[in-house]
Amino acid sequence: MLTNISPKLRLFSKFYSTALSVPKESVVEPRKLLFPPKYKKPRQVWLENLDTIDEQKLGILELHPSVFAANPRIDVIQANARWQTLYRYVSYAHTKSRFECRGGGRKPWPQKGLGRARHGSIRSPLFRGGGVIHGPKSPTPHFFMLPFYTRILGLTSTLSVKLAQDDLHIVDNLEIPTDESTYLEELVKTRNWGPSVLFVDTEDIMPRNITAASDAVKHFNLMPVYGLNVYSMLKHDTLVLTRSAVDTIESKILTHLHKSDTTACLSKYKVDQK
């Protein structure tokens, strides 16, 4: 009987062992930074793994200081968070004008001869039960568009704050050995990551195991890199990026920071603006 149980115990200990593990013998290729900085040194971070609960240092990566070491503009971060909160908010407060109120079609009394003030309808705003002047009409959207480079600066400021607070981690990929949510919870607890974690990768379709494991835990979320935004980064305590996601983020942001023709970006916002 014990011989039948022992293989299961060994399999369980393989996934959930918290003992110190030996790093893999792998060489991490150095990153080639786009638009190499002239006056700032690149920021260095560890490349970590997700296939074991215990953290393994796979190598050191360099991050561009214009993206991950920018001046943390708290006012720009707040402007981005407010913009994202308001552009999806619609007010349904509604008041009726005098022409929307029921009744009031007849003149209440003659124009002259009674000594009373002249009125044409009992649904006038002067009467109780009448219409409302300049009241709110529904639906009222609160959509507005921030300037383009305010949005870019919001991303760089938030990424820099996350890195400075040690809440940003780089992993080689999102592959985990099991689809059980307890594995992911134990990994986050062992590595002292925040209660809520946002995993970002370049692909829409994430690996099956981490998709199934994070689906049962509401504070573990997956996001493709093109959906990365300030509000989501602030909402989660820890931000986990894959190496390919870091390459994509730096490529997109640095291209916009160093582009020569910004007329189209800075023009008035249009629905079909590219």
List the CATH number of the domain containing 70. 3.40.1370.10
CA nearest to 81, candidates 231, 196, 238? 231
Q: Count the Cβ atoms, other than its own, within 10 Å of residue 26.
A: 11
Same domain, 121 and 175: no
Identify the domain boundary among 107, 141, 175: 141
Residue 26's pLDDT is what?
53
75 has pLDDT over 80: yes
198 has pLDDT over 90: yes
Helix (H) or strand (E) holding 169: strand 168-171
Number of domains in the chain: 2
Domain that holds residue 132: 90-141
Q: What is the separation of C-alpha 121 from the centre of its chain, rounded to a whole number of angstroms?
A: 53
% of residues, the chain, pLDDT over 70: 89
Q: List the 168-171 sheet strands across, edge first.
A: 59-63, 43-48, 168-171, 238-242, 197-201, 220-224
Euclidean distance between CA atoms 28 and 6, whole angstroms: 37
Residue 10's pLDDT is what?
43
Same domain, 176 and 243: yes
**How far apart, in Å, are the Cα atoms of 9 and each of 13, 54, 264?**
6, 19, 62
Same domain, 125 and 234: no
Q: Count the Cβ atoms, other than its own, within 10 Å of residue 85.
A: 11
pTM across the whole model: 0.79
- Per the domain annotation, does 71 fall within a domain? yes
pLDDT tens per residue across span 130-189: 999 999 999 999 988 899 999 999 999 999 999 999 999 999 999 999 999 999 999 999
Give residue 272's pLDDT band: very low, low, confident or very high (50, 70, 90): low
Same domain, 114 and 215: no
Q: What average pLDDT does the segment 19-26 reach?
A: 48
Residue 266's pLDDT is what?
81
Local structure of residue 139 (DSSP, 8 states)? S
Same domain, 200 and 135: no
